[in-house]
Amino acid sequence: MNSMSTSEFIQHLFTQHKKVDRSFPDKELAEQFIDQVFNFLFLPNKKHQQVSDLERELNLLKSHLSSLAYDVVHKEEKAVHITETFFAAIPALYAKLIKDAEALLQFDPAARSVEEVLVAYPGFYATAVYRLSHQLWEQGVEILPRLFTEYAHSKTGVDIHPGARIGEAFCIDHGTGIVIGETTEIGNNVKIYQGVTLGALSVSKDNVAKRHPTIEDNVTIYSGATILGGTTIIGKESIIGGNVWLTYSVPSFSVVYHKSEVKVRDKNPFPEPLNFVI
């Protein structure tokens, strides 16, 4: 590669771009679509004066997804089937997402209404994009679910793999820095704060076993906690404190916390390494 002439390198780029173009849908159009679906479901549009206006937009969204799906499967009939199956699932997904929003409203004292959660909470946006993407993942659609969730990741700092399985009334508070891996399983009424990682221990690329933890119902995981491993199970009703590092299971009703050491400062100053300003 380093010995290529400029013309050879340009030819190489051209060939590579053609390869990507044949294999992947347009990234910008994919990002536009997922935002349009979110807005269609949750953000009122002053242009929608009648029910027929919503119906017209729904048809446009179907056409948009069909085009994106065609770029993945390269078969028109299959792309139409993917689209119809996805939009048939939308009412159930909408109901599940409203439960997520209601959980956020109940849990976060700063939230004043469900509508505020729908419009202003990045954790809800990331959850919505995940649930929509997971539907396509379950349908066996490649590429598109990853484009959608990575777009949400770029906007919110919340990285949820579309293959993860997440139950009802899921609550992400603040959200920034959360990572939820592909084989993670999360139960109902789980609350997660910023900076939480539900990740994998180091495994080979060929390992197809479950790599990420299981979080049972009614668990709260506070900021900065790291939970790793496919055999790691956090039992129901447990509380995982901030900055905890876990690679083993804990039983139901556990409280796991990181113990901080507190020293009372006397009249002498701290050693030099602790004397700093920002």
Express each pLDDT in 147-189 by its tens digit.
999 999 999 999 999 999 999 999 999 989 999 999 999 999 9
Residue written as token pair 């920034």: 176
Q: Beta partners for 237? A: none
CA 127 from centroid of its chain's CA atoms: 6
pLDDT range class, residue 191, cuts 50, 70, 90:
very high
pLDDT range class, residue 15, cuts 50, 70, 90:
confident
Kindly report, residue by residue over 84-97, the tens digit of the pLDDT. 999 999 999 999 99
pLDDT at position 1 over 70: no
pLDDT at position 274 over 50: no
pTM, two decimals, is: 0.87
pLDDT at position 117 over 80: yes
Give me the long-range contacts of 98-101 (CB less than 8 A, separation at least 24).
99/168, 99/169, 100/124, 100/127, 100/128, 100/131, 100/168, 100/169, 100/170, 100/171
- Please report the pLDDT score of residue 54 as a whole number: 87
3-state DSSP assignment of residue 4: coil
pLDDT range class, residue 200, cuts 50, 70, 90:
very high
Please state the φ and ψ torsions of residue 225, each to the nearest 5 degrees.
Answer: -70, 145
Alpha helix segments (H runs only) across the chain: 6-23, 27-42, 51-73, 76-88, 90-107, 114-120, 122-138, 144-156
